[in-house]
Structure 1
């Protein structure tokens, strides 16, 4: 090697070593910076707003919204109040001097009640505690049930016949050793429904009750998606909002408006889409099954995978939700193929998603499942009620005539949710106390009353006449006498005045109307019917809250041993959430 070549080689080597040293130093600095900015450690820097979705994602799983967010607003919110019940026939009390009494006195003074001490001391009044549960997605003006009970150590013996005065419901919290009230979230008022079988000796049961639909929401509850801490980004929030709005929107005053509103780098507020108003849990599951950003090729690859997954009972539920979220013609075509499967689960999950896409092909499968498969009945009926389709209406109408009480009433509630003004289910307003529905349908005659959701009485089919003789004490001051002749005498007794009477034929609907005409309310009518049923006077079946049950077991064919039948009451984790339409928490 010449001297010049040697010098050139040595110079080149030194430059290379210098570059390597610089790179090593830079690598060390970057390593230290990475350590300093690891999520969750002090000194963490705010994520760059310009990071792409691929940079934010840290694995190869599909970039669905569920990967970056979790829902909020899906819990029930407890609201409470203190108020007074009037109209008791000497079963109330003068409450002892407690903070609750003082609070009630302050409220009565605020409302300018005359002689509050005298009113509170009357044996016809009682101090009560009220509780309600605001469901997820409840809107201002929506109704919900409230529970009423007397405080501990109260001497009130019964709330039967009582009327709850208007009360403002708030959230309560203990702060600094004191009970604090939040904003007013609802108001409650109405007639109290007490267990008709409870008497004054049954202290616990006679001194508590419910007001069906007695609460009215004062505010709409917010709900939405919260971006997980490590993904917080204004860019990502905007992209999620766009993905949601591209798929779900509403028409408001003639304008198209998306359901999502990105508030900041971590919160996307979501409005409830009308299609999912009675199944908010499913709505959020579908939203989280949307892709945040996806090329046409990536979506096609995912769709082909979903085509395989929906054919497998173990993965069909998740695949159906993703296809429902995609919602295009190709997704519908895959779901339409799946409802032809020989597997009941695959058919059900595919049909459920098709129903929320308003595809008529779902109706036949869901109607069959609602009739024959108790484990899927709740979700099948809720899906049918979400459709804007005459075929779905006809299918539910057909279920009104089957033998199963819960299937018949479940179909009625689904039809009412679909269109409460339809003549079939609209019913007759009974002086604002409740609604009477007389359904001209086939099947065995049945009387249904509710203990939740809304005050209503549903008469399925032509009702046989009441069996006489009959003597029933129904509610406060209401007496039904059918001990002589072939007629009923319905009387209402009031202190200091003559009794009002109605003479009627021994028909169920006439009895209901007579009680209401004499000033009776929903609890009075329910008690009259239940007492008549106990005495054997009702020839129809009578059911209370015959709602389709959740949590039932569906045994796959390969799991059923020869000679065994499926149990209807066993627990089973259905892969789609329980619809709010049939929820048993106070609505």
Structure 2
């Protein structure tokens, strides 16, 4: 029994000696070889792809939803106590954090209402950009109408459910502003529409949103990331003061950060499509062969959209190919070529884009977007031509582009009515219409020669507004023996002084008068809707008649297109 451990020790020593003499060395060598192979694999640079999109996918192109809980005040007794709920608890925490005195008592008043606030931050948004806000009333509330209310400052955060609990981000936007209820423009008997609505441009983004490219696993290497960033910067750069700076920065071996090029502001999705269509290899003798290949693809309807993107990604060298393509007989092919030329800031894009806007509803929205940033004075005159079209969405779409261009907005005129909203009177040979905006900008647009108001005596509007037609000689500003007809607008609100205004008996006068007596955008919108319903407003009343994005283009069997007439001016109107 005592010899057994000694025998085991002897055998162990013998085995150890054998390992040292040969077996162990081979085992160690195999380990070194494996490590060396893994190291070499890490050092090996992947073969570059033809196009960046083969190696990378876009990051940051999804909208971010932000939410908050807040108070709408200045209600005319149509608010109500916020009943016990998780929303009330969240709001009380927020109010205590901001040192609001007696928050519980504040939430019990009938001129206040607890609301949910929601917004979407678009890709590439920058600090200071504005977003529309959606107002929702929680289920447990006694509020009956948010008309005329004002949303107090609210902090909006992105919320996610992780591990069965709600996690909130830092503050991504701050919201405030006047509420436009759904009942103001919808006008149905559904009472729930009175306690929901929106605030146009009511949210202010608090931090920049970055875009980027994520490299696929096969291409994740620091040298590959650097090569792709250099390829992007050869095509896209801008001057930061006196320094030339590219838009791409390889921050990791698997991630490239992308700044938005100034030409593609508000067109971030297209920027990323073009970036991913860039070739990784520098320009060479193969470039001319590639241009010839893409020119051939541009003549095939199924391949034309992608071919135009790749030509746009090449840049100035592709301009002659694209210009030549704008004279092709197929309207779809002309459109793709002209759209790419517009983003290359070429005025050869203007006429084919105008033709596409007039002829094909599917081309209107992308064509107007392309014309928005085209830095040529002739683009302004082209957009002004569209104001005479019969299509209302074409006219209003062109008007909004002119409004958003710094070199054209002054040509529209427009009146700032007490800081509440703007009134535009646009000359147009098209059918007259009254347009109300429900997104971005609070504005009333009188398009063309609108008809006089059909008002013989008076009608009652929202929130204590009364509009009465004055008899001849009754107006303080009437001229004896004649003169223009006048309106008297009165506003009666409990606990507030009565307000009066005397204006011309025109639609523009009516809108101005509403602002004169302290009315807001919701009052103007609701008044115009009621005037239309009662026959006082004769012409068409349209709500946000903008061209729809992502309309489908229907191609004939022979490759030529046909217009999608079913989408023509598909707008909410009365």
TM-score by length of 2: 0.86
Look up the SS of the partner of 2:322 in the other structure.
helix
User: 2:547 corresponds to which residue?
Assistant: 548
Which residue is equivalent to 1:415? 402
CA contact (8 A) 2:187 2:529 kept: no
Deviation larger for 379-388 or 65-74: 379-388
**Displacement after TM superposition at 1:459 (Å):** 2.0
Matches of 2:452 and 2:406, distance apart in 1: 31
- The structural deviation recorded for 1:570 is 6.9
| Alignment match, 2:436 | 449
Q: CA deviation at 1:200?
A: 9.6
Q: How far apart are the structure 2 equivalents of 1:137 and 1:227? A: 19
Which blocks of at least 5 consecutive residues in structure 1 are unaligned?
A: 1-24, 38-43, 572-583
Aligned twin of 1:534? 533
* Corresponding residue SS for 2:252: coil
* 1:550 to partner: Cα distance: 3.1
Q: Cα RMSD between the aligned structures?
A: 2.8
Does the 8 Å contact 2:117/2:135 carry over to 1?
yes
Asked whether the 8 Å contact 1:424–1:439 carries over to 2, the reply is: no
Structure 1 residue 116 displacement after superposition: 2.4
CA contact (8 A) 1:147 1:210 kept: yes
In the alignment, is the contact (CA less than 8 A) between 1:50 and 1:235 conserved in 2?
Answer: no
Structure 2 alignment gaps of length 5 or more: 1-25, 473-484
1:56 aligns with 2:47: yes
Residues 342-491 of structure 1 correspond to what in structure 2 (within 5 A)?
342-419=329-406, 422-425=409-412, 427-469=414-456, 471-482=458-469, 486-491=485-490
Match of 2:248 in 1: 260
By how many angstroms is 1:510 displaced? 1.7
Normalising by structure 1, we get a TM-score of 0.84
Match of 2:278 among 277, 285, 290: 290
In 2, Cα distance between equivalents of 1:204 and 1:266:
49
TM-aligned CA distance change 1:546 to 1:500, over 3 Å: same
8 Å CA contact retained: 1:198, 1:206: no
Distance 1:470 1:385, change over 3 A: farther
| 1:558-569 superposed matches below 5 A | 558=557, 566-569=563-566
Do the aligned residues in 2 keep the contact of 1:352 with 1:366 (CA within 8 Å)? yes
Which deviations, in whole Å up to 9, do the C-alpha atoms of 1:19-77 show, x marking residues without a partner?
A: xxxxxx9xxx99x969x98xxxxxx76853452xxx435xxxx6111011000110010
* SS of alignment partner, residue 302 of structure 1: helix
Q: In the alignment, does 2:291 pair up with 1:303?
A: yes
Instruction: Show the counterpart of 2:9.
Output: none
Shift of 1:370: 0.4
SS at match of 1:179: strand
SS at match of 1:154: coil
Could you list the per-position Cα deviations for residues 264-320 of structure 1 after superposition, in whole angstroms to 9, with x for gaps in the alignment?
Answer: 111111111121112211111000111111451222222221121111111111111
Distance 1:80 1:205, change over 3 A: same
Q: Deviations over 1:132-183 (max 9, x none)?
A: 0001111111111000011113222221121111100001122343322211
Return the offset for 1:363.
Answer: 0.7
Could you say if the C-alpha distance between residues 560 and 432 of structure 1 is closer, same or farther in structure 2, counting changes exceeding 3 Å? same
1:69 aligns with 2:66: no
Range with greater deviation from structure 2 (373-382 or 457-466):
457-466
Give secondary structure in 2 for the equivalent of 1:269: strand
Counterpart residue number, 2:23: none
Shift in Å, 1:476: 2.4
Q: Distance in 2 between matches of 1:450 and 1:420?
A: 22
What's the offset of the Cα at 1:212? 0.7
DSSP-derived class of the 1:48 partner:
helix
CA distance in structure 2 between the partners assigned to 1:148 and 1:356 by the alignment = 36
Q: Where in structure 2 are the equivalents of 1:139-150 lying within 5 Å?
A: 139-150=126-137
Please give the alpha-carbon distance, in whole angstroms, between the structure 2 residues aligned to 1:47 and 1:85: 61
Equivalent residues, number: 527
Q: Which moved more, 1:273-282 or 1:292-301?
A: 292-301
Contact 1:158–1:200 at 8 Å: present in 2 too? no
1:432-459 per-position Cα deviation (integer Å, ceiling 9, x unaligned): 2222222233333222111112212222
Take 1:157 and 1:482, find their aligned partners in 2: how far apart are those partners? Answer: 32
The C-alpha deviation readout for 1:413-468, integer Å capped at 9, x for no partner, is 12223327631236332232222222233333222111112212222234332121
1:492 aligns with 2:479: no
Determine the C-alpha separation between the residues in 2 that align with 1:560 and 1:265: 44
Q: SS at the partner of 2:104?
A: helix
CA contact (8 A) 1:470 1:532 kept: no
Q: Deviations over 1:67-99 (max 9, x none)?
A: 110001100100000001112222221112223
Contact conserved, 1:430 with 1:516, CA < 8 A, in 2? yes
* Distance (Å, rounded) in 2 between the aligned partners of 1:567 and 1:222: 37
- Deviations 1:386-405 (Å, cap 9, x if unpaired)? 20011211111100111111
Name the SS of the counterpart of 2:548 in structure 1.
coil
Specify the alignment match of 2:210 in structure 1.
222
Deviation at 1:126, TM superposition (A): 0.8
CA distance in 2, matches of 1:33, 1:565: 63
* Residue equivalent to 2:74: 87
After TM superposition, the structure 1 = structure 2 runs for residues 192-211 of structure 1, keeping only pairs within 5 Å, are: 192-195=179-182, 196=184, 202-211=190-199
